[in-house]
Amino acid sequence: DAKTTQPPSMDCAEGRAANLPCNHSTISGNEYVYWYRQIHSQGPQYIIHGLKNNETNEMASLIITEDRKSSTLILPHATLRDTAVYYCIVNAGNNRKLIWGLGTSLAVNP
Amino acid sequence: GAVVSQHPSRVICKSGTSVKIECRSLDFQATTMFWYRQFPKQSLMLMATSNEGSKATYEQGVEKDKFLINHASLTLSTLTVTSAHPEDSSFYICSAREREVGTGELFFGEGSRLTVL
C-alpha cells in the first residue's frame, strides 16, 4: 500500500473549518483514499473515502487533487468533539489490510 | 452505520493467565475481521486477519500460539492472549468488513484495554 504523509499536529478554532492535508504521491490507480479518526482511548471511526472525485457526507468533505497525489479532509464547522487523531490511508479497496501511520492530531480550541 | 462491539472494554489480569477478547458485528455479517494492537502514543499495528471458517493469517512477528484467534461465525471473532505478560499490556482493537461489500469502510470496535500485572 502507498505511504501517506500527514502533519503530526494541527490546531483549529471551534466553529471554523479544519483542513487536514495528506500526501500520497505514490498512490496506485486502483487505490482509494480513506480517512478515519480516533478519539482518545476509542476505536477508529470511519469518516469518508474516495477514488478520484471529491466526496461529501454528513461528517466531512474530501478533496482529491487531479493527479491524486494529495488530498484534503475538510471538517466544515469544527467542534470540540472533533478533537482526535485523523488518519489518511490509501488502500485498494477490497484489501482491508490497512497500513496506519501516526496521523494528524487535531486540537479544536474554544 | 454498522456496529462492531468488543468485550470486555477493560481487563486486568495477573501475569501467566489467559485473557479472551470478543469482537461481534451486531447488524451485519463479517467475512473478515482484523485484530490490531496499539501501544500508547503509537499507531495501530495489524496483528492478524481473521477469516470465518478458516485459520487466521498472522502478521510477521506476531506469535500465533500466543495470540489465538477464532472466527467461528460470521458475527464473532475472539482473540485469546495466552500466558499474558506485562509487555502484552496494550489497547486491542478489532475491525470488521461487511460481507460482499466492495470498497466500503471498515467498522471498528471500541477497543479493549488489557493490563497485565
Instruction: Return the residue in A96, A102, A105 with the most chain B beta carbons within 10 A, the one to mutate for interface testing.
Output: A96
Q: How far is CA A80 from the centre of its chain?
A: 18
| A57-77: pLDDT as tens digits | 999 999 999 999 999 999 999
- Strand pairing category for B10-13 and B19-25: unpaired
Which among A108, A78, A84 has a CA at the least distance from the CA of A35?
Answer: A84
pLDDT band at B92, cuts 50/70/90?
very high
Q: Rounded CA gap, A61 and A20, in Å?
A: 11
Average pLDDT, chain A: 92
Please report, as a single letter, which amino acid is at residue B7: H
* Min Cα–Cα distance to chain B from A93, Å: 4
Helix, strand or coil for residue B12?
strand
| A17-41: pLDDT as tens digits | 999 999 999 998 888 999 999 998 8
Q: Which cell is B76 given?
A: 464473532
pLDDT at B99: 63
- Pick the more confident residue, B72 or B7: B7
Please report, as a single letter, which amino acid is at residue B28: F
Please report residues of A whose CB lies closer than 8 A to that of B110: 42-43
